[in-house]
């Protein structure tokens, strides 16, 4: 069975959102179109409580982009984004969610961030996606969405660690690019672990 996993197409990651990924909205028509070519469509949502430790606003004296230690691991500080049950955390209005079989949530624990759609950044807590795939004997996944250099990248790395065949549909992703070169470095890391980069036209 071929599976499409659509990562974080939420208002806060789109232009006008609090953690807008440049040109993030451009992948929505592709997300809608690509779903028809897959037997199973899954999606993820970044889903933070208001007191989440990745928000700069929750660390007086710290600013956006600062790096701190959070529960034993390094954490970049972000703007408040994707707070549970707020408009920013909702899927983009033009994103067709009718074919999504299950939505996995991540970043729920206030003390640990979670970029990957499989595990939190400390690899302590699972989102349930790995078990979901295993139960259905799914060994092959296709990833798309936001952001290429965070959630998509770490999902591809974890997928490989789990022994899954992981594909990243490049033209269906956009990155944050906090530092110059981040996007190229993300692509290198994705390739290095043996994930396959492809374009939607090759599907
Ligand atoms: C993401 C930064 C913080 C992402 C989530 O979805 O890529 N990036 N939280
Ligand atoms: Zn987040």
Q: What is the pLDDT of residues 96-151, one digit of tens each?
A: 999 999 999 999 999 999 999 999 999 999 999 999 999 999 999 999 999 999 99
**Mean pLDDT of the region 80-96:** 98
Residue 43: in which H helix or E strand, if any?
strand 40-46
For ligand 1, the distance from its centroid to the CA atom of residue 133, given in whole angstroms, is 22
Q: Is 85 exposed, middle or buried (0-12, 13-18, 19+ CB in 10 A)?
A: exposed
Domain assignments of the chain as residue spans, ordered by start: 2-48+90-202
**Mean pLDDT of the region 79-102:** 98
Cβ(157)–Cβ(116) under 8 Å?
A: yes
- Specify the pTM: 0.98
Q: What is the CATH number assigned to the segment(s) 2-48+90-202?
A: 3.40.50.850
State pLDDT tens for residues 173-187. Answer: 999 999 999 999 999
Q: Is 109 a catalytic residue?
A: no
The residues lining ligand 1, judged by C-beta closer than 6 Å to any ligand atom, are 8, 46, 78, 115, 146-147, 150-151
Catalytic residue among 106, 113, 153, 158: 106
Q: Is 151 a catalytic residue?
A: yes
Q: Tell me how far apart the alpha carbons of residues 127 and 114 are, in angstroms, rounded to a whole number.
A: 9
Catalytic residue among 151, 153, 158, 173: 151
Average pLDDT, the chain: 97
Would you place residue 35 in the very low, low, confident or very high pLDDT band (cuts 50, 70, 90)?
very high
Nearest CA to ligand 1 atom 8: 150
Helices (H), the chain: 28-34, 129-135, 153-161, 182-192
């Amino acid at each position: 069975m071929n599976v499409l996993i659509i990562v974080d197409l939420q208002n806060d990651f789109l232009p006008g959102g609090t953690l807008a990924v440049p040109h993030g909205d451009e992948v929505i028509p592709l997300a809608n179109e690509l779903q028809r070519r897959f037997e199973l469509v899954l999606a993820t949502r970044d889903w933070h409580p208001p007191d989440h430790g990745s928000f700069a606003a929750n660390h007086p004296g710290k600013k956006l982009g600062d790096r701190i230690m959070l529960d034993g691991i390094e954490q970049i500080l972000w703007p408040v984004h994707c707070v549970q049950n707020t408009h920013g955390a909702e899927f983009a209005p033009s994103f067709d969610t009718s074919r999504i079989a299950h939505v996995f949530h991540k970043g729920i624990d206030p003390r640990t961030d979670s970029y990957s759609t499989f595990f939190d950044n400390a690899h302590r807590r699972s989102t349930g996606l790995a078990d979901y795939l295993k139960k259905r004997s799914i060994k092959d996944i296709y990833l798309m969405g936001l952001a290429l250099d965070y959630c998509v990248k770490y999902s591809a790395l974890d997928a490989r660690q789990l022994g899954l065949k992981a594909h990243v549909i490049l033209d269906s992703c956009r990155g944050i690019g906090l530092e110059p070169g981040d996007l190229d470095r993300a692509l290198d890391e994705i390739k290095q672990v043996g994930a396959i980069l492809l374009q939607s036209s090759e599907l």
